Structure 1
Amino acid sequence: MTVRISHTPKVQELFREAAGLNNQQGSARLKQLILRMITDAARIIEDMDVSEDEFWLAVEHLNRVGKHAEFGLLLPGLSLEHFIDLLQDAKDQQVGLTGGTPRTIEGPLYVANAPMSDGYTRMDDGSEDDVAIPLFIEGRVLDTHGQPLPGAIVDLWHANTQGTYSYFDPSQTPFNLRRRIVTDASGYYRARSIIPSGYGLDPDGPAQQCLSAIGRHGQRPAHIHAFISAAGHRHLTSQINLAGDQYLWDDFAYATREGLVGEATVIGDAAASRAHGLDGRRFAQLKFDFVLQPAVTAEAEQRSQRPRVGA
């Protein structure tokens, strides 16, 4: 028999006291959030008849997630980061903000202050020239009327052929595969990089252990992250997900969306290779345009205040 006491006045007063609502100090907003979390957690314990052993095993697992700094991986894996995007989409639709390139999750691996270039940049440091396929990325930043946005900033970052990111992988040089490009007068950005690899969660880490316990994998398809910004336009957080990857529509973090799939076309023509400054080896081309909505407020031009690494 399920026993419920969370609704009783005595327990409700306990929760209000625990959330700080019986004092005048601290943040009123935080107090309301804490009260809701306590109340909802208590109801889950009651409704699911959570045992004391289950409760403390969950606490121990969350401690391990925090110790390994994997909340930024586990929460996308449990769909919550994607849910925030879906919720914002619904809010936008409600007020008539439609069109443009779809948003998708940022993930936890951005590093601020990457080198900035005008029009064109090389993103990789050449350390994987013997194993990587060179990738030439090209596209435009446009408004919702199809007009180019010169001076927009295209901030790109992605993994190497081993599925790891510079800064978080100390074997890579600083800002390897991380660059910002200012679009030219026609709204174009161009970059030389390498085809990134998809990757998975640490198989021995607590995030993967949680997903394994519910029968799920922790794999991501090959992708390129992007922040796109331009004066007078809404900041866009998005990704280019590479077509053909086996996990393209089976991403554990739910980041692939219609409109965010790009085709990296591999070219084996030696003459074309040399024309791109290569030695005749095969390379790939990827074309992808970004379309920005107009900004309703100045705040909309800025990315979120989520804590990030600043190298």
Structure 2
Amino acid sequence: MTTESQATAAASGAGATARFREDKHVSAATSQERVSALAGRIIKAINDTVIDEKVTYDEYNALKSWLIRVGEDGEWPLFLDVWVEHSVEEVANANRHGSKGTIEGPYYIPNAPSQNTPATLPMRDDEPGTPLLFQGQVKNVAGEPLPGALIELWHADDLGFYSQFAPGLPEWNLRGSVNADDEGKFQVNTIQPAPYQIPTDGACGALIAASGWHAWRPAHLHLKVSAPGHQLITTQLYFQGDEHVADDIASAVKPELVLAPTDRGAGNGREVTYDFILDPED
């Protein structure tokens, strides 16, 4: 039987690519002028780099070969989400006054099992790791509670793997949608995720090795938080003391998103409180 620790970059990449094609709808409303401006700047930046760095034909052909491999490994979603999405997110959320957002990443799955608060994420009977109580309240920018808020939460397990992207894990392991109470408050029981390396046996790993970079992301909770009449926020929350908070390969950590859990005592794990502030819809 294949286990999660035998997950491969190619399989994970193929899954992320398939999920992207299924869930994301590409808009065709962009004008020719806008496409020309964006594509022109990207192509110019590449050519400027070639000239400035005096790129050789051997290096050019190595790049061409690597780009082909990224597609063959299904790793374009991984590459873009790790090295580009943080800038797109910064632009998208520049005008928010509420909670900070950050990247979604390639491993979101919509329509996770729904529960009312207090909730426990689906997990195995012997789920490894430190129990974590994650709680808080969803409010508007005026500080008023938002009843009916929805908290979508997903994260890696104690080995750094995501359900539906690694073999041997139950379909909805550590994924759930939680309905807050009438005061916008929520409580979710889960386990504290582990830091993990992005897949390194595929094209992205080859780039990391060739560049002498590390492949680590700090441990994090993924969240989408929404309420009627308010803008959905997509974010990640990290953990104080994680050695990769300061050098996340995805450049997604913001100081406002770092948690400081406390010990619950009596072997009950840890707990942390974090409130979300949602902006009104435009």
Same fold (TM over 0.5): yes
Equivalent residue in structure 1 for 2:92, among 62, 65, 88: 88
Aligned to 1:126: 124
3-state SS of 1:259 partner: helix
TM-score by length of 1: 0.75
Q: CA deviation at 1:186?
A: 0.6
Contact 2:163 2:173 in 1 (8 A): yes
Contact 1:124 1:194 in 2 (8 A): no
Aligned to 1:224: 221
Q: CA deviation at 1:206?
A: 2.0
Deviation digits for residues 115-149 of structure 1 (CA, Å, limit 9, x no counterpart)? 111223211323434x3222111111111111110
Contact 2:124 2:173 in 1 (8 A): no
Equivalent residue in structure 1 for 2:272, among 279, 283, 286: 286
Does residue 249 (structure 1) correspond to residue 253 (structure 2)? The answer is no
Distance in 2, matches of 1:250 and 1:33, equals 29
Give 1:104-115 correspondences, 5 Å limit.
Answer: 104-115=102-113
Deviation digits for residues 221-255 of structure 1 (CA, Å, limit 9, x no counterpart)? 11100011111111101011112211122211111
Does residue 72 (structure 1) correspond to residue 77 (structure 2)? The answer is yes
Does residue 261 (structure 1) correspond to residue 258 (structure 2)? The answer is yes
Equivalent residue in structure 2 for 1:150, among 138, 147, 162: 147
Q: CA deviation at 1:35?
A: 4.5
RMSD of aligned alpha carbons: 2.1
Distance in 1, matches of 2:236 and 2:126, equals 23
AA paired with 2:273?
A: K
Does residue 236 (structure 1) correspond to residue 237 (structure 2)? The answer is no
Distance in 1, matches of 2:231 and 2:255, equals 20
Distance in 2, matches of 1:293 and 1:235, equals 8
Aligned to 1:171: 168
3-state SS of 2:77 partner: helix
Distance in 1, matches of 2:207 and 2:61, equals 15
AA paired with 1:83?
A: S
Equivalent residue in structure 2 for 1:45, among 14, 27, 50: 50
Aligned to 2:9: none
Q: CA deviation at 1:33?
A: 4.3
Aligned to 1:99: 97
Contact 1:76 1:254 in 2 (8 A): no
AA paired with 1:48?
A: E
Does residue 214 (structure 1) correspond to residue 211 (structure 2)? The answer is yes
Distance in 2, matches of 1:124 and 1:265, equals 23
Structure 1 residues without counterparts, runs of 5 or longer: 1-25, 93-97, 270-280, 297-311
Contact 1:70 1:207 in 2 (8 A): yes
Contact 1:199 1:219 in 2 (8 A): yes
| Structure with larger Rg | 1
Contact 1:77 1:218 in 2 (8 A): no
Contact 2:107 2:162 in 1 (8 A): yes
Distance in 2, matches of 1:37 and 1:282, equals 51
Distance in 1, matches of 2:48 and 2:246, equals 34
Q: CA deviation at 1:152?
A: 1.2
Structure-2 change in CA distance of 1:37 and 1:102 (3 Å) = same
TM-score by length of 2: 0.82
- Pick which of 211-220 and 283-292 moved more: 211-220
Structure 2 residues without counterparts, runs of 5 or longer: 1-29
Distance in 2, matches of 1:287 and 1:77, equals 27
Distance in 2, matches of 1:100 and 1:217, equals 32
Contact 2:81 2:106 in 1 (8 A): no
Deviation digits for residues 76-97 of structure 1 (CA, Å, limit 9, x no counterpart)? 443x21112233344x2xxxxx
Distance in 1, matches of 2:118 and 2:271, equals 15
Deviation digits for residues 9-58 of structure 1 (CA, Å, limit 9, x no counterpart)? xxxxxxxxxxxxxxxxx973545544544444334333433222211110
AA paired with 1:68?
A: D
Deviation digits for residues 134-176 of structure 1 (CA, Å, limit 9, x no counterpart)? 2111111111111110111111000011100000012111111
AA paired with 1:46?
A: I
